[in-house]
Amino acid sequence: MKRTIVMKVNTREPEIDKIRVAADLIRKGSIVAFPTETVYGLGADALNPNAVIKVFKAKKRPPDNPIIVHIANKEDVYTLARNVPETAEKLMAQFWPGPLTLVLKRSKLVPDITVVGLDTIAIRMPSNKVALALIRESMTPISAPSANLAGKPSPTTAEHVINDLAGRIDAILDAGPTKIGVESTVIDMTVPIPQILRPGGTPYEKLKSVLGEVELHPIAVADRRVRVIRARSPGMKHRHYAPDAEMVVVEGKFNKVVRKVQELANLYMAEGKRVGILATDESLSNYSSDIVKSLGTGKNLTIIAKNLFRLLREFDKEKADVIIAEGISPEGLGLAVMNRLRRAANFNIIRC
C-alpha cells in the first residue's frame, strides 16, 4: 500500500510551496485529491492516459462513467473542445469560475480514456483558490471526479477522502470543508436546446434566466430508475452518493411526511434495526429514533446542500442499518439535493 501525503492548505491564500509539491506529482502522472467549491476531486493530468487510468483504479470507478476536466483559464476550452457555441460562451461569461460544467464536442487533443470514448468532453472552471492554483501550477487541465470510492457519498472534507482513499492515492490537499457540498451542474451544449444532465451547484432557474430555454434530462428529475445506454455526464448511469445503510426517501406534504417517517422508523426498530432519520430543523422535534440528524432549515437550501453528504457519512459512522430521509422542495439547490437523495436511496421512494 502506498503512502498518501496529506498537506493542510490555506483555502484563502494557498501556500505556493505545497501547491507546487502537488502539481509536481500531477505532472509526473500521479493522482492528487484537492478541494473545489463543490466537493473534493481526485485529480490527474487529463492529457496523460496512464494517469487517468489510475483515477479509475483508485476509485474503483466503472470504465463507462465520464470524468469532468477542470481548467484554470477559459481559453483552454478552445483547445479541449471544438465548435464552442455562443450559448456556451454566455454561460462561461456568467458562471465561470463556478459550479457549472459544460458538455461540448471534444477536440483530437483529448485522449479517449479521459472521455470514456465519447465524442464529447465535460469541462468546468472551479472557483476554489486551491483548485485554481493547482491547475495553474500543474500546467495541464486536470481530470477530477469526486475523491471517493465509486458509489459512496461524495467527500466534502479531507477526512472523507482519507477514509475512502488513504493508501490508494498519492496526496491530498486539505483546505477544510467545501463551500457548496453538492457537485456542479452539468449542461449539454451539443444539443439544439441546452439540457441539464445533472442538477448541481448552479440552479436550473439561473441557467434559464441567461439562456431563455433549458431542458431537464429525464434522469435529472427521475423518481425511478431510468435506463441510460451511454452516459454523457457523471451521475447519470450508475448508483451514486449511497451510504452503506439501506435508505428510503419519503416525499409529500410536511405533516404526512413526518407521520410516515416516524411510522417507518417504528417498524424498522421493532425489527431490531438501528434507524437513522434525516430531518430538517422544522421537523426535528417530532422524531424519536436511534439517530436523528437535521440537514438544516428548509428555508436555507444552501445549508441543506452543504450538509447532505457529510450527514450520510455520519449515519454510516454511527452504524445505522436504515436511513429514512425527508424529501425537500425541488426548487433552486433543492433539485440537486433531491437528485442525490433519490439516487442514494436507489429510488426507494415512498409518497404520501
Instruction: List phi, psi (to 5°) of 100.
Output: -135, 125
Residue spans of alpha helices (H) in 48-85: 49-59, 77-80
The amino acid present at 175, given as its one-letter code, is A
pLDDT (tens, 9 = 90+) of the chain, 352 residues, equals 789 999 999 999 999 999 999 999 999 999 999 999 999 999 999 999 999 999 999 999 988 889 999 999 999 999 999 999 999 999 999 999 999 999 999 999 999 999 999 999 999 999 999 999 999 999 999 999 999 999 999 999 999 999 999 999 999 999 999 999 999 999 999 999 999 999 999 999 999 999 999 999 998 988 887 766 566 667 665 567 899 999 999 999 999 999 999 999 999 999 999 999 999 999 999 999 999 999 999 999 999 999 999 999 999 999 999 999 999 999 999 999 999 999 999 999 999 9
C-beta separation of 130 from 19 below 8 A: yes
**Between vectors from CA 7 to CA 5 and to CA 13, what angle results, nearest 5°?**
155
C-beta separation of 215 from 192 below 8 A: no
Task: Give all domains of the chain, ordered by start, each with its CATH number.
Answer: 5-221 (3.90.870.10), 246-351 (3.40.50.11030)
Please report the pLDDT score of residue 2 as a whole number. 82
Residue in the structure block whose three cell numbers are 481548467: 71
* Cell output for 215: 431542458
Instruction: List phi, psi (to 5°) of 314.
Output: -65, -40
Please report the pLDDT score of residue 229 as a whole number. 58
Q: Residues 7-40: pLDDT tens digits?
A: 999 999 999 999 999 999 999 999 999 999 999 9
Half-sphere exposure of 138 (CA within 13 A, CB side): 31
Please report the pLDDT score of residue 228 as a whole number. 60
Distance CA 158, CA 35 (A): 8
List, in sequence order, every beta strand (DSSP E) within the chain.
5-8, 32-35, 40-45, 69-70, 81-82, 100-106, 120-124, 142-143, 171-174, 185-188, 195-198, 215-216, 246-251, 275-279, 291-294, 322-326, 349-351
pTM metric for this prediction: 0.95
Q: Residue 75's CB: how many other CB atoms inside 10 A?
A: 7
Please report the pLDDT score of residue 236 as a whole number. 65
Please report the pLDDT score of residue 237 as a whole number. 57
Distance CA 69, CA 51 (A): 13
Q: Residues 285-309: pLDDT tens digits?
A: 999 999 999 999 999 999 999 999 9
Q: Residue 213's CB: how many other CB atoms inside 10 A?
A: 10
For all residues of the chain together, what is the average pLDDT?
95
Beta bridge partners of 82: 105
